[in-house]
Each structure stands twice: as C-alpha cells, then as structure tokens.
Structure 1
C-alpha cells in the first residue's frame, strides 16, 4: 500500500469563481457538486472529455490553517453564511451539518479512511479488481498511516481487553475486530481532501466554478419521448444566473454529486420526484413522477460518552476502530477544542435554524440555559468514545421545505424506530463501559468515576432537542433514544433500484445520473468517505469506457 501524498496546499488554474463564468457555455459532462464523489469523477472524466464542476461552496485552499487537526471542531462548527459547514436539524431533533466546500465532507470530517466490506462490493455488483484499483488511486494522493500513541493506544488496548477481537493491526480493509485505519491527515496534522484528487485531472479539459448554486436541471420533453437532461441553470455569488448545456454528443450527461441531501432535493426542484409533493410546492412541470426520490433516508445513530482525564492527552481524531460481531463500531477522539466565539456562534446559528423546523425555540433555549457553554472561552473534551450502529434498519424521508436550493430540505431519519437498531446500541454501550473499566484505559479516567456515571453525564448535555426521561439513568435502551446524535454518515434518497439503476442512471430520464452517497442503502465500511471517492473514480472509468465504445460504434457504422 502507498501512503505518501504528492499534493500540498494548492490552487488550480481551472478553479474559478462563478462570477467569472460566461452567460452560457457547453461541456461534455456537467457535474453538480464537487464533493467526495464529484472531485474523483471530474478528475477521471477530464482525461477524455470536457468537464464542468459546479460547487456551491468555496475552496479549501483559501484557509490552510482551518485544515489543521487542531481546528477540527472550529471548522466543523464555524457557522457563517459562507462557512464550509452548513448546519441543519433533522425532524428527529438531532443537530447535523452538511459540507459546503470543494472536497465536500472530506474537508470537515474526522478524517478516518476505511474501505467497504467485501459483501458490500458484491451486493453493489461492482467489479472487485476495478474497485481495488480505484481505492488505490485515491490512497496514492491523500491517505496516510497514523501514529497510534497515548490516548489512542490505551483506547485500542481497552477495546481488546473488552473483547473486540482479534487485533488486525493497520489495514484499510473492513474486518471484525480491532484495527488501525488510514487517515487523510498527514504526519504534520494537516488535512488532505478529495479536492486534492483534482491533481489527477487534465487541466485543459476541466473547469471548476466555485460559489455556483445550481437551481435547476433542464430537460427536453418532446411528445411521448423520454425526457433528456440537456443542461443546468446556476447562480453566482452576485445573484447573476448562468446556463451550462451539454455539447452535442449523445453520450454526454449531467451527473448529480450533491450528496444525500442535495441530490434528491435538486431532483425534486427540477421536477423529478413524488408528483403530489412537487405540486404542493408549485414545482412545475413535473417531468417524471418518481415516488422514491427522497425516500429511504438513513443516518447511522451515534451514542457516546465524554471521559475526563487526569492525565494530559494528545489531539487525535479517529485512528482506531472496534468492529464488533453485532454490527456496531466503537471509535474515539481525544482533546477536542472549540474556541470562542465559534462555540457561541454555533448555538446562535442553531437558534436561527429552529424557525425552519417543527421545533420551538423554547426547547433549545431551556437546554442552553442549563449550562454556560456559550459563555465559555474554550470547550475542551479530553476523551470522547462513541458507538455507531451499522446499517440501521430504521429509515426516514426527505421533503422540500421551499424552492430555495441553498436552504436545507426537511429530513426525518426515524432513529431507533426498529428494535434491532436499539439492541445494537445497547450492546455497543456495554462494550464502551468495558473499555472505560479496562486496565489498559485506567490512566485516562478518574479512578472514582464509574462508567455508568460518565454515560449519565450525557443526559445533561445539549447534544440534541429530544426529551429526557428519568428512566434513561438506569435503562440503556432509553439512554440510546434520549442521547442519540449523528456521526454525519447520512445516506439514501436516490437509492439504486428505486431512483437509479445499477449504472446510476435516473429511471425514466436520459443523460442524467446520480453518483454519490444518496444512492447507498447503508453507509459502507466504518466510515463512507473512502467508498464515496472510490465510486467517483470507478464510475468515471466506466463512463469513459462506454463513451469510447460508442465512438468506435459510430466509426464502424
């Protein structure tokens, strides 16, 4: 395996602000969203076609310090109109964020890199050799082997002592037991992101417009013929609208890579989705009645415990994971810091969001008043151990809230609706309690603090808007329900077999695909970014092969 990255902080000549875009232009491929899948896809397609990427956010290279590991929380919770993180609150009462930057979630996440399960690749009907090559293509640019010392070392040994066996050492593979995974943070603690994959691109064939907000996909609709995507309308930061169209080749396409919230939302805004819902929002015309757009939304529920340490700890994000036999993943962080004014700015932003949800400001204000977090100069977390439920059966849905593509849609995940998900949570929390009690981890917890007491501290934290029940103090099932949060691995909304086919082409429409996490039935591996980037590369090569075969067919005819 290769771990070195040849890409440092850089800008690209093909990367421009959308205010510099012409009023109208044409390309072979128009990619909506320059995130984890979109950057890999664009770099690949540019080798043999002209490609336009429309990214609604800015460049991660504008503020290199924000990409350092010390600034993880500050970047994640920096809530301003042009920040890389855009907050939203699900109708379940859980805080969340979505990326708004070139490179997508790889710019704001915890950096862990781990491949999908073998059975996941088989069920997706991907070619294993090509998947392997696509992962390696990503890894050559931006993945590193982490150093595991101090807190992370004790956490790893605590997992083993708690019975999460065997120990698999360092590997990208998804294997039951305890392992060290890859990271997109280099040894100096600087983040590398999917945007670095654009170094692979042919700079003569690629244009990336930043701060380019796509409003609508355009379709030709002639009589009884199938609708066909032929372009998009997008808006720059000055409010000026631009049009991008596909060039004449029949193989040219519009490809949605806007993520699990953005892709189904933009399909609906363009007239593709549940007819009755679109008509209720005055979306017209309804191009294709696709009832499953926005359905099947999943988010891996997370429950956690903060562990104050009597011993100084290093700054570390996820390096070690315990992959249990009961489909739950145990991960940990140490010495996370959120400094003022960002902590207060985040909660002010949350308050503003409440007007766009079904929650009243009373519920969050009550929680905020119970602590003085918004008055503190620095929030510092010594240790944070989390349990992620894998492949939740509980599913929800996404709907339009309005017709503004930059606003968050309404999303409901229905956390822990299925009893099976709750069972996994309880088993995961019991494993965390064993880790906290372990001899290996004893240096990093106060000796008189019991594991159950540490868990119960979460019941007084403003981690979500859900009601608290007294029974949660003793009942782990109720604790799971009351303290659920997100690990930012939401997916669904444009799932394979329901909205797109096995080649990610949207049902009932020509020249339109979706290539991102909205197509997933479950989040691949322990963390999905590796597979999102792999999918962009994998599908890019497949599309180019189809394009080449079509060209040869035309020549022969």
Structure 2
C-alpha cells in the first residue's frame, strides 16, 4: 500500500492539532477583518514605480515595519509573494486551522518543505507571514536576551505594547491545560507565574493571537496603524533580484531597485527615489532573506558562481548559522473527553528546555483507524521487548487504544523544545527561482549540549505525565514505554528509526525530532548585518527579521519579530529626522 499520502496527511494533522481549536471572544479589539485600500494585486502595478522604502516581504516583521515607516513622510512599498489572509477562512477561522498545514497546493500559505536532515517543516507564504499560519502562542523575549542583543529596553517595551494593542489576548484555561500546569508545578517547574507575556523561569500561561471568537489576528492587522496615503502593498509579487549600482567616488555598491514578477509572470521594476536615506529592506524571513541576498549577488562567491550569479559582494557568511529549535513529543491518549486547546501553558526550566502541552486531537475516521492499526502493530513487535512490559499490561493497552480511536482520538500531547540551539547548519540555493525553498540543513543535535537539554526535557515530560495532577488524563494501564513506542511508529519525520530509541532517551530525541517552526539565522548581526541591521559591504540595504537572530527569543519568536519590525522602524525614523534636522542647521 502507498503510504505517502498518509505520511503527509498525518504529519500535517498531527502538527495542526498540537496547536488546535480554541474559542475566544472579541474584547475591545476589533474582530472584523481590516479593509485596506492600499493592498492590491501586483498584476495592477505599473511596469515601473518609485518609492522611498521598498520592503521585500509583508510578513511578521515586514507589516509592522511598513506601518511605522509610513508615518515618517516617506512613501513605502511592500512586496509580498503570497496572498491576503483575510480571504482564506482556513487562516481567519480557528475551526479550519488544520486545513492550512494540509494544503499542498502550489500557492499554499504554509509552503511545505523537508530539511536536508529529514525533518518536515513549513515556510509562510502569506501577508502576515508566520503569524498567519502558526499556533498563535504569544510571549516576549527575556530581559537578559534584550540586554544581550543591545536593544534599547524602553523602546522595546513600547514596541511590544504597540503590537499587543492589536494582536495579543489572554486565553481561558480549561481542564486539560489546568492539569498540565499543575503537573509542571508538582514536578518542580517553579514558581507559578500565572498569566504573563513576560519570559520568566517557572510555569506560566502565555498569550495568544486568537481572540475569544476564534479569529486570528496576524501581523497584517498591524497595517491598520499605517498612513494609507503613504503605503502600497502588492500581493503575489515575487521579488527575483535586488539591483545594485556603483556611485562615482564611493567604494561600496548601492541597492537602488528590485525586479519582481506578478501572478501572471509579468516583470515589474521598483526603484528607490533619489535620496541618500532611502532604502530597500529585506523582511523575507529566515529562509527568504539569505536566499534573496544570494540570488542578488551577495553571498559565498564560489557558490554563487556555480549558479551563474554575478558576485556583487563575496560574503561567505550569508546562509550560515541556520538553526531550528528541535521539538520532541509524547502523545497521550486520554480516558476522559478533553477540550481542544492551543498551547497555552509553558514550563520554562533552568536547564534551558521549554515544556508545553496541548489537547483535543481529532482525526477523520480513516486516519484514526490507521493510527489504531499502527499502534496495535508496534505493541506486538519484538523490537520493543527491552521494555519488558508485562503481557497483561500490553493487552490492556491494546484494548485501550482500540477504544480511544474507535471514532475520535481523545488525547493530549506534551512536548519539549530546547533553547538556543547550539547546533547550527547552513542554507544553499537549489535553483534561481526565489519561490522554491533552497536546501536547508539544521544539523539537529550536532552539539552534545542540545542533546543533553533534550534528555532533561523528556525526563520532565515523563514526570509530568506520571504526576498526580495529570493522572486523570492518562490511562493507568498504558505505561510510558508504550507512549514512547507509539511515537517511534508514527511518520512524524523522514529520519531512520533505531531499536535503541525505545530504551534510550538520547536516541529517542534523535529519531523523533520535529520542527516547531522556529528556525532562524542566515543573516546574523555582526556577520551579515550590523547592529542597525544594515547589510555589511553595501549601502541602502537592511535585513530585519528572524534571519538576524543567533537564538530564538522567548518560548516563541513571533512576538519579538513583530516587535523588531516596529523597533527598527522607529530607529529608522529617528535617523531620518536627525538627518533632516542636521541639513536644516547647516
């Protein structure tokens, strides 16, 4: 039997469920989709246009950046390769959330790809970026992180608050999540920090970008802050190349325009107006930004020449430092009905692992039956005899699974995600098509430090599953070993399985690693860009997104990426104001 559909469908449904359906209601923040007169299809764009700022990527950082820059008197153009989130009910309505990751169409808002490590992943292709297709968990970076990066703490706080006025909400905590929270506290993930956006050691309830009516609020909603007379957003506009020129008397090439194509493949040109302060700003994400730099001639010279690309700046560090926070999961069938919830509670440990949970997995009937069949098969396989689970317990476990997945799989998951990570990889061009995902290698667990964190994290997960507080949501006759074996049978990645993974948490971490979509790197500060996010070696070009990070901020980066767009936008406006003021004085 051909199980390729099963693998794709299960993986999408499994990840979708991890962050699945929860209903909220509108508070004072509007639930209705904003109506933007300045958002248009790129097919309506003139062949040649001129703007003060050209932003490539209307994503998690690009939207708040564009909205901010539109208030500085300059004109702003945003080129987004995807469509609008407001016309797709699978994005706007939380009840259809699973369909986003299962969408395998050529224009899917969550473009699927598999890293060279054999781990399934997704890349946003939609206005709003990852905030339009993710799980919605909202939390700030730690004070330590902000200080280490060197950001202005007052401006960072103001930028977070600016974002939160539109997109952040407090979720209600129901029974499964409450039991998970109490389990974390019982096993020593202390203190209890209650609800907070702040990153604090212990157990806390985080924020969400879903309101109480189940409506998603993405970074695209931040465009309601924009000055509509100064901004234009073109959808389905795929940028193929940034243009550079040499100005007489200067040694550095200057970015001055871009080539992009619309949905019909028609070529357009966008140029910067003549002003030394005007810029092109890349906000195409941790994959798109280093990819587009390379396609435009900034990157490792030898690699660019193999693709026939003229080298503008030989910059070997573009595409380096790619990292993805590894996630490992235990699926826990429940004897009781459970609410369907997003990730709401997180345990932030002092050994640098985050513990999160979600509940309410519901598969379509054929998928549930296949899962039941696979679970029955692994319980009878001799490969897992080292567990030495008594036959009568295994028999009861089989009966339990048959009952649980008869129609719907009532279950929860508890996952661990390590901080950092220390392990890094690289990105290389696949071809010259900017809409194709390049080759990406993350080198999961290459550094022993990451593997140590995973083992500690999984031990904490197991302790929570075995806690008294969580006991009513797990079958007493289903041992931890059976849950581990279940994960080893599921097609959650494209990596080999080893028999030792059943008895070794180290091998289990390696074999069952998944992505939680928090990849970063490729254009890091101090390597590819300076502390003001200007690309080294050229003029009039910046990169402002997660590709500049060395580590993931907080337990989830989206809040900080949105904050970064606002923060850098304010910094640029300050620079522009001071420049004008200086000219007037002279």
Q: Same fold (TM over 0.5)?
A: yes
Which residue pairs with 1:8 in the alignment? Answer: 32
Instruction: Give matches, 1:145-294, under 5 Å.
Output: 145-222=170-247, 225-284=251-310, 286-294=311-319
1:379 Cα deviation after fit: 8.0
Please state if 1:42 is matched with 2:71.
Answer: no
Please state if 1:510 is matched with 2:539.
Answer: yes
Q: SS in structure 1 opposite 2:259?
A: strand
Instruction: Give matches, 1:486-525, under 5 Å.
Output: 486-525=515-554
Unmatched 5+ stretches in structure 2: 1-25, 369-404
Which residue pairs with 2:43 in the alignment? Answer: 19
CA distance in 1: counterparts of 2:36 and 2:133, whole angstroms: 20
Q: Cα gap change, 1:121/1:341 in structure 2, threshold over 3 Å: closer, same or farther? A: farther
CA deviations over 1:217-237 (Å, ceiling 9, x no partner): 001125662100001000000
Which residue pairs with 2:397 in the alignment? Answer: none
Q: Cα gap change, 1:342/1:450 in structure 2, threshold over 3 Å: closer, same or farther? A: closer
Which residue pairs with 1:329 in the alignment? Answer: 354
CA deviations over 1:320-365 (Å, ceiling 9, x no partner): 000011000011111244659999xxxxxxxxxxxxxxxxxxxxxx
Instruction: Give matches, 1:39-118, under 5 Å.
Output: 39-48=63-72, 49-118=74-143
Matched-pair contact (CA < 8 Å) for 2:90–2:100: no
Unmatched 5+ stretches in structure 1: 344-375
CA distance in 1: counterparts of 2:216 and 2:365, whole angstroms: 22
CA distance in 1: counterparts of 2:469 and 2:31, whole angstroms: 38
CA distance in 1: counterparts of 2:452 and 2:135, whole angstroms: 26
1:556 Cα deviation after fit: 2.1
CA distance in 2: counterparts of 1:451 and 1:7, whole angstroms: 42
Please state if 1:545 is matched with 2:574.
Answer: yes
CA distance in 2: counterparts of 1:238 and 1:523, whole angstroms: 37
The count of aligned residue pairs is 523
CA distance in 1: counterparts of 2:365 and 2:28, whole angstroms: 35
Which residue pairs with 2:328 in the alignment? Answer: 303
Matched-pair contact (CA < 8 Å) for 1:90–1:410: yes
Q: SS in structure 1 opposite 2:562?
A: helix
Please state if 1:455 is matched with 2:484.
Answer: yes
Which residue pairs with 2:15 in the alignment? Answer: none
Q: What is the TM-score when the length of structure 2 is the normalising length?
A: 0.87
Matched-pair contact (CA < 8 Å) for 2:342–2:359: yes
Which residue pairs with 1:360 in the alignment? Answer: none
1:382 Cα deviation after fit: 2.2
1:4 Cα deviation after fit: 4.3
CA distance in 1: counterparts of 2:151 and 2:327, whole angstroms: 29
CA deviations over 1:295-336 (Å, ceiling 9, x no partner): 000000000011111111111111100001100001111124
CA deviations over 1:56-108 (Å, ceiling 9, x no partner): 00000002353222322221231211121101110000000010000000011
1:436 Cα deviation after fit: 0.7
Which residue pairs with 1:421 in the alignment? Answer: 450
Q: SS in structure 1 opposite 2:158?
A: helix
Matched-pair contact (CA < 8 Å) for 2:62–2:565: yes
- Pick the aligned partner of 1:476 from 505, 509, 518: 505
Q: SS in structure 2 opposite 1:36?
A: coil
1:456 Cα deviation after fit: 2.0
CA distance in 2: counterparts of 1:339 and 1:544, whole angstroms: 51
Matched-pair contact (CA < 8 Å) for 2:189–2:348: yes
After the TM superposition, which of the residue ranges 452-461 and 315-324 deviates more from structure 2?
452-461
Matched-pair contact (CA < 8 Å) for 1:185–1:192: yes
CA deviations over 1:448-491 (Å, ceiling 9, x no partner): 11223212211000011111110110000000000001000000
Q: Cα gap change, 1:528/1:338 in structure 2, threshold over 3 Å: closer, same or farther? A: farther
CA distance in 2: counterparts of 1:377 and 1:265, whole angstroms: 46
1:7 Cα deviation after fit: 5.3
Matched-pair contact (CA < 8 Å) for 1:78–1:342: no
CA distance in 2: counterparts of 1:436 and 1:60, whole angstroms: 37
Q: SS in structure 1 opposite 2:224?
A: helix
CA deviations over 1:399-456 (Å, ceiling 9, x no partner): 0011110000000000001111001000110111111111111121112112232122
Matched-pair contact (CA < 8 Å) for 1:339–1:377: no
1:8 Cα deviation after fit: 2.4
Matched-pair contact (CA < 8 Å) for 1:70–1:337: no
CA distance in 1: counterparts of 2:27 and 2:485, whole angstroms: 40
Q: Cα gap change, 1:380/1:494 in structure 2, threshold over 3 Å: closer, same or farther? A: farther
Instruction: Give matches, 1:354-503, under 5 Å.
Output: 382-503=411-532
Matched-pair contact (CA < 8 Å) for 2:337–2:410: no
User: Hey, which bits of structure 1, 4+ residues long, moved more than 3 A?
Assistant: 336-343, 376-381
Which residue pairs with 1:357 in the alignment? Answer: none
Q: SS in structure 2 opposite 1:219?
A: strand
Q: SS in structure 2 opposite 1:449?
A: coil
CA distance in 1: counterparts of 2:27 and 2:355, whole angstroms: 24
Q: Cα gap change, 1:96/1:381 in structure 2, threshold over 3 Å: closer, same or farther? A: farther
1:554 Cα deviation after fit: 1.8
CA RMSD of superposed structures (Å):
1.9
Q: SS in structure 2 opposite 1:215?
A: strand
After the TM superposition, which of the residue ranges 495-504 and 57-66 deviates more from structure 2?
57-66
